[in-house]
Structure 1
């Protein structure tokens, strides 16, 4: 599946989000929304669910042009406010956007 196809929704209430003025965290979160699966998919025998993405810190650094330290700081902020969860293995991480359906509800 190509992550370069399709679109995401952005609601204007995002302007009131607590991390909106933090450029690195906002940029990372928007990147995660764009990259997250919009439906469940299989990858090497594992199911990556809607609202999740399989990635790594170095890949995110290349994709966002943020340093590894900037990424770690922004990921920590997003985790602290329960925007995301991260399951880490030795090879990669699965990042879950906790309220993905709130951000990308397909019923409207």
Structure 2
């Protein structure tokens, strides 16, 4: 874990830049990946750009501080980030009995290796010389972890608070909420404002914000809270002003006949 890695400036234009967990995960994999062929970790020989790690350990690796406490990223969230990186062609993964084998696609290109260097390829069927019991856990534990992970992916749904938190942090470009931000979100949830409205209005507020200078940004969720409340009040007012159009007066048959007679100069009566 000595030395340094290269990170291209174009990363700020990539979609993972606004996805905090995915960006941190990709950076972690770059930092941890083997820089040459033949390096062994717990008896497993890795190739350039490869790293082996269990999802439970990645939860520890990506732990972050929120206020005075530390918060872990859930396994299902990490799995979603892994799938996003795979979909974008940035990594490939294969499950082994000793953990998940991550391979950085074009690792040599990212880190400035010569194109004449021997490229690496990994397959799902590549045999492992050993199946050690190490900090990744035993074989049985790994299999159970994979089962639990798949179940969590199917069952876990982000709470309303988490969805609002993710949206705000992505737009703000921050890693965690402040205690004041959490209080603001909870107040909105107590107001029973529809979640889809809140998420849509957060985007609107950030899109419409006009900074006075480069250091002028939306710093707290309280700013969004006020904008959302304003929009919610306006929406409710519009809904209350909607009234049914009065029905036209229905004419009876005699009135209709009398009107017909007047239009044509016919005198009615005896």
Please, what TM-score do these two structures have when normalized by structure 1?
Answer: 0.87
Greater Rg by CA: 2
Question: What is the number of equivalent residue pairs in this alignment?
Answer: 103
Q: Distance in 1 between matches of 2:113 and 2:93?
A: 24
State the partner residue of 1:105. 112
In structure 2, the gaps of 5 or more residues are 64-72, 115-270
Alignment of 1:1-108 (within 5 A): 4-40=1-37, 41-43=39-41, 44=43, 46-65=44-63, 66-106=73-113
In structure 1, the gaps of 5 or more residues are none
Q: Distance in 1 between matches of 2:30 and 2:79?
A: 17
Q: Distance in 2 between matches of 1:81 and 1:12?
A: 17
SS in 1 for 2:40: strand
Which structure has greater strand proportion?
A: 1
Higher relative contact order (CA 8 A, sep 6+): 1
After TM superposition, what 4+ stretches of structure 1 lie above 6 angstroms from structure 2? Answer: none
Give how far 1:89 is off. Answer: 1.4
Please, what TM-score do these two structures have when normalized by structure 2?
Answer: 0.36
The alignment yields a C-alpha RMSD, in angstroms, of: 1.4
